[in-house]
Amino acid sequence: MMISLTIDGRTVEVEEGTSILDAAKQANVHIPTLCYLPEVQAIGACRVCLVEVEGNRTLQAACVSPASKGQVIYTNTDRVRKARRFSVEMLLSNHPFECLTCAKNLNCDLQTLAYELGIREVHFTGEKSGGRIDESSPSIRRDQNKCILCRRCVTVCQEIQSVTALYLQGRGFEARVEPAFDRDINDVACTNCGQCSIVCPVGAITEKEYIDEVWEAIHDPSKFVIIQDAPAVRAALGEEFGYPPGTLVTGKMLAAARMLGFDRVFDTNFAADLTILEEGTELLTRVKTGGVLPMITSCSPGWIKFIEHFYPELLDHLSTCKSPHMMLGALAKTYYAQKAGIDPKSMVVVSVMPCTAKKFECNRPEMNGSGYKDVDYVLTTREFAKMIKQAGIDFENLADGNYDDPMGEYTGAATIFGATGGVMEAALRTAYEVATGKTLENVEFSAVRGLDGIKEATVPVEGIGDVKVAVAHGLGNARKLLDKIKTGEASYHFIEVMACPGGCVGGGGQPIPVNNEIRALRAQALYNEDCALTYRKSHESPSIKKIYEEFLGQPLGERSHHLLHTHYTPRSKF
């Protein structure tokens, strides 16, 4: 039922049950928020979205108050402004004011709010609750001094990811966001997905930065430094330079990488195509030989750590394929090193990823198939943008650059790896043709696209029968699928899981903010690139054919096994 109310003199009609905050949005009235997070959390904790409702004695938090019929609401009265300012001043009185040296400087909700509310002085002084800096994780850095206890990280970790690595501990002045027993985040069941760093409104949770280490490698003449970029990076990097979400900046990204001083610019998409050959072959082998099914993808290291912690009994379901950037790292230090006559010892491989979990992944002890650390450093999309800014590169006016051979060329199947359902679709394109020997005319599998939490499809493949597949994104959805596998309810052949909502386009290392609208736009950018590419099936890529001829032999062959595949480690759920 529609109801009518008045906000700042404007009449607006909304569906009953709509919050005052959403009703105001419809009336084009901006109400500031802080703890509120669209699609995830509305708890009215920060008292920033206060509004005056005629007839109500107290101010109401707009995010949790439903609009009601005939209400008269004011969002800009003297009382409202003073109350909001009071709330934010209280937060500031407990804040360390390290803005100039904070990783979130210029992209901080608290900073923006203090500016918008015109706070020029903090009237409250006294002891600060403080907290510790937790640098235990190779992925995430937590600075509890900066935490404003908005709980966004707790909610996203618990409700969306079903991990709950962090929780609000203690009460009052002692309240803090920590794991149980105040253990280090690296010692608990954290997947490193970094969704907390996406939603943290301040600098309390950020990615662990490796920018300085990478600069050092670039400037070291004895090092041969290789960069690779994941598919989802090109669909989001532009946002850091003012482009609207969904702008594809592949050419500028590659040009910027070269200008930064990297010796070679490869593309993770090359390795994504390779993944399809390896993983597709692995799937067909499992189907034919009665191997463990369903087989589940292994490209997302947040997802890998999740299953290791919470479902170690299902590890046999995982594909043994390394994630694409780790494959490329291993090949850079073997295949390319040989080809180019470069000592792999002097090589430094840097991966630009939409991901914080890949920082942990590249430090896993088993990721050394090349005889060296396969990937040396992982930078997030955000860090890569920071490097471009530090170098003073005029991103907007960059002429499109190109990747280097022999590990740059890619197909449309590879580029859609960045969106939920993309790995599945890419695998189906190749598996179908390999299994049947026939040409797949319609390469687009729309059933596995989009932002539904769990997507299912049945694909008839001649000679094999109906292939049943499922796709989950966000670890909460993955958990639902795994529970079905455990109870035997699910009878799929192949499952794709990506740890982050929306897949890598919504990864924990992507530009902030991220919401469903932005996820969909970034995914669309990748699907557009897919359409525009000459080759849209991984096995058609000339570079892929070449590497099998020249170096790898065949998918699942001995070299592949050694360089491109891995094993997993059961971990504690605590």
Partner 1 sequence: MSQEKQCHCAEIQEEELYPRLEEVIKEHKGKGEDLIMVLHKAQNLFGYLPRKAQELVAEGLNVSLNEVYGVITFYNFFSTVPQGRNSVKICLGTACYVRGSQEVLDKAQKELGIKVGGTTEDRRYSLDVVRCIGACGLAPAMLVNDDVYGRVKSPHLLDIIEKYE
Question: Which tokens hold the place of 291?
Answer: 């191997």
Catalytic annotation present for 358:
yes
- Residue among 185 and 352 whose Cβ is closer to partner 1: 185
Sign of the CA dihedral with 398 first, then 405, 428, and 412 last: positive
| 120 contacts partner 1 (rule: CB under 8 A) | no
Which positions from 170 through 189 interact with partner 1, judged by CB under 8 A? Answer: 170-171, 174, 178-181, 188
**H-type alpha helices, 203-267:** 211-219, 231-234, 250-260
One residue of 56, 77, 133, 168 binding partner 1 per CB under 8 A: 168
* Binding segment (CB under 8 A) for partner 1, from list 30-38, 160-168, 196-204, 253-261: 160-168
**H-type alpha helices, 248-296:** 250-260, 268-289
Q: How far are the Cα atoms of 43, 49, 161 from residue 195, in angstroms, in the given order?
A: 19, 24, 8
The catalytic position among 49, 147, 299, 355 is: 299
| 97 contacts partner 1 (rule: CB under 8 A) | no
Interaction mask 554-573, partner 1, x per CB under 8 A? -------------------x
The catalytic position among 25, 104, 305, 358 is: 358
CA atoms within 13 A on the CB side of 527: 18
Could you tell me whether strands 60-61 and 50-53 are parallel, antiparallel, or unpaired per DSSP bridges? antiparallel
Question: Which tokens hold the place of 252?
Answer: 């500028």
- Residue among 107 and 169 whose Cβ is closer to partner 1: 169
Which positions from 384 through 413 interact with partner 1, judged by CB under 8 A? Answer: none
| 350 within 8 A of 217, measured Cβ to Cβ | yes
Interaction mask 222-241, partner 1, x per CB under 8 A? --------------------
* Binding segment (CB under 8 A) for partner 1, from list 17-25, 167-175, 470-478, 493-501: 167-175
| 167 contacts partner 1 (rule: CB under 8 A) | yes
The amino acid at residue 225 is V
Give dist(CA 140, CA 207) in Å, integer: 5
Determine the length of the chain: 574
Give dist(CA 545, CA 434) in Å, integer: 14
- Residue among 155 and 281 whose Cβ is closer to partner 1: 155
Question: Which tokens hold the place of 159?
Answer: 């409700």
**Total binding residues toward partner 1, as defined by CB under 8 A:** 18
- Residue among 170 and 570 whose Cβ is closer to partner 1: 170
Q: How far are the Cα atoms of 76, 204, 315, 544 from residue 405, in angstroms, in the given order?
A: 59, 41, 35, 11
The catalytic position among 207, 240, 278, 282 is: 282
Which positions from 187 through 216 interact with partner 1, judged by CB under 8 A? Answer: 188
One residue of 169, 363, 368, 524 binding partner 1 per CB under 8 A: 169
| 166 contacts partner 1 (rule: CB under 8 A) | yes
CB of 502 to partner 1, least distance (A): 24
How would you write 25-52 as a 3-class SS string?
Answer: HHCCCCCCCCCCECCCECCCCCCCCEEE
| 164 contacts partner 1 (rule: CB under 8 A) | yes
Tell me phi and psi for residue 321, to 5 degrees.
Answer: -65, 135
- Residue among 99 and 189 whose Cβ is closer to partner 1: 189
| 158 contacts partner 1 (rule: CB under 8 A) | yes
Sign of the CA dihedral with 162 first, then 165, 167, and 169 last: positive
- Residue among 153 and 347 whose Cβ is closer to partner 1: 153
| 42 within 8 A of 33, measured Cβ to Cβ | no
3-state secondary structure of 213: helix
The amino acid at residue 47 is R
| 426 within 8 A of 535, measured Cβ to Cβ | no
The catalytic position among 178, 207, 240, 361 is: 361
Catalytic annotation present for 321:
no
CA max distance for the chain: 79
CB of 157 to partner 1, least distance (A): 9
One residue of 61, 83, 92, 165 binding partner 1 per CB under 8 A: 165
CB of 125 to partner 1, least distance (A): 24
- Residue among 223 and 480 whose Cβ is closer to partner 1: 480
- Residue among 285 and 572 whose Cβ is closer to partner 1: 572
The catalytic position among 193, 504, 529, 543 is: 504
- Residue among 188 and 435 whose Cβ is closer to partner 1: 188
The catalytic position among 19, 65, 137, 319 is: 319
The catalytic position among 13, 366, 396, 549 is: 366
Q: Which of 191, 119, 146, 151 is nearest to 36 (CA)?
A: 151
CB of 389 to partner 1, least distance (A): 36
DSSP string, 504-553: GGG-TTSPSP--HHHHHHHHHHHHHHHHHSS--SGGG-HHHHHHIIIII-
Catalytic annotation present for 319:
yes
Tell me phi and psi for residue 264, to 5 degrees.
Answer: -135, 145
| 150 contacts partner 1 (rule: CB under 8 A) | no
- Residue among 286 and 309 whose Cβ is closer to partner 1: 309
Instruction: Please report where in the chains the tokens 């919504």 appear, as a residue.
Output: 506
Give dist(CA 357, CA 354) in Å, integer: 9
Catalytic annotation present for 82:
no
Q: Which of 442, 438, 453, 496 is nearest to 471 (CA)?
A: 496
CB of 200 to partner 1, least distance (A): 17
* Binding segment (CB under 8 A) for partner 1, from list 11-19, 157-165, 423-431, 560-568: 157-165
Catalytic annotation present for 279:
yes
Instruction: Please report where in the chains the tokens 């070299």 appear, as a residue.
Output: 559
CB of 148 to partner 1, least distance (A): 17
CB of 166 to partner 1, least distance (A): 6
Could you tell me whether strands 133-134 and 494-498 are parallel, antiparallel, or unpaired per DSSP bridges? unpaired
Contacting residues toward partner 1, per CB under 8 A: 158, 163-171, 174, 178-181, 188, 573-574
Residues belonging to the active site:
279, 282, 299, 319, 358, 361, 366, 504
